[in-house]
């Protein structure tokens, strides 16, 4: 079972535009020191499509070494780079909209050929393909499908239905940071949360022992961090705190405005 808080690490850049690998190592150690159950390398927050193949490999190596040294788990968002990983994070194919039967066939095909278990990344507002609770239950019965990162933009009826009767051994991890508290209350086992770069120990405490007041506070902070495209505000805050050398992102993303960063800091990020 995957449980607890997993941090999908950003990819920090230095003043020359190169990946700041030393800063990445420090970020990984920081969140694991604070109790994160694991890291996600090459998730959306890490801007993987803007990285070269060599950069992606090095990012995974650094995250893998950090996870091993802490006895933590590693989820990788690239099926070609999963050696030593706990699981692979895989989205529904974007733009294709293959229908539910096509989605089931696609994931079962991947699962039967994967070196590691899969975590389905269910994010229909990006992929264009919603999945019902019944489809996720069907997929969750496959021995090589370990769970779902559930990020529908709401706590919807399918989330309630899935969490009410999830397959044995199938983990439901929230991927919408602001909905961590209600998803935990419904029975989610944790979350894959970009916001957990900050106040990691508080997110870990939430996952371990649901606290409504803490949940409201963390949700408010998370909302400010997603005021502009992820991870631009998050990088701005991490830079303001001296945790990464620059707030830079790579195109097509552009840095967050100073106003959004200041607002996040004012809210306690």
The single residue of 121, 150, 179, 235 carrying the catalytic annotation is 121
Q: Is position 235 annotated as part of the catalytic site?
A: no
pTM for the predicted model, two decimal places = 0.95
Q: Which residue has the higher pLDDT, 92 or 17?
A: 17
Encode pLDDT of 145-187 as tens digits.
Answer: 999 999 999 999 999 999 999 999 999 999 999 999 999 999 9
User: What string of DSSP letters covers 49-87?
Assistant: GGS-HHHHHHHHHHHHHHHHHHT-EEEES-TTS-TT-SE
In eight-state DSSP terms, residue 230 is: T
Partner residues linked to 19 by β-bridges: 13
The single residue of 6, 70, 149, 235 carrying the catalytic annotation is 149
Q: Is position 121 annotated as part of the catalytic site?
A: yes
List of residues 6+ apart from 115 with CB closer than 8 A: 82, 83
**265: enclosing H helix or E strand:** helix 258-266
List of residues 6+ apart from 55 with CB closer than 8 A: 11, 19
In eight-state DSSP terms, residue 19 is: B
In the chain, what percentage of residues exceed pLDDT 90? Answer: 96
């Amino acid at each position: 079972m995957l449980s607890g808080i997993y941090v999908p690490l950003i990819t920090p850049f230095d003043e020359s535009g190169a990946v700041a690998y030393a800063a990445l190592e420090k970020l990984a150690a920081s969140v694991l020191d604070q109790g994160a159950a694991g890291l996600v390398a090459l998730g959306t927050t890490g801007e993987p499509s803007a990285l070269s193949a060599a950069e992606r490999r090095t990012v995974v190596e650094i995250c893998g070494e950090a996870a091993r040294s802490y006895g933590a788990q590693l989820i990788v968002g690239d099926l070609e780079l999963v050696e030593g990983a706990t699981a692979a994070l895989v989205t529904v194919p974007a733009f294709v909209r293959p229908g539910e039967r096509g989605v089931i066939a696609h994931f079962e095909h991947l699962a039967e050929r994967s070196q590691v278990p899969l975590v389905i990344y269910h994010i229909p507002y990006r992929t264009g393909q919603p999945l019902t609770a019944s489809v996720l239950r069907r997929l969750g019965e496959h021995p090589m499908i370990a769970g779902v990162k559930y990020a529908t933009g709401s706590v919807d009826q399918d989330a309630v239905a899935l969490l009410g009767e999830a397959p044995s051994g199938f983990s439901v991890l929230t991927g919408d940071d602001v909905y961590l508290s209600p998803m935990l209350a419904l029975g989610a086992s944790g979350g894959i949360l970009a916001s957990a770069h900050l106040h990691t120990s508080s997110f870990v405490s939430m996952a371990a022992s649901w606290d409504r007041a803490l949940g409201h506070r963390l949700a408010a902070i998370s909302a400010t961090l997603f005021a502009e495209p992820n991870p631009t505000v998050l990088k701005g805050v991490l830079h303001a705190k001296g945790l990464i050398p620059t707030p830079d992102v790579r195109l097509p993303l552009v840095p967050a405005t100073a106003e959004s960063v200041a607002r996040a800091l004012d809210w306690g990020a």
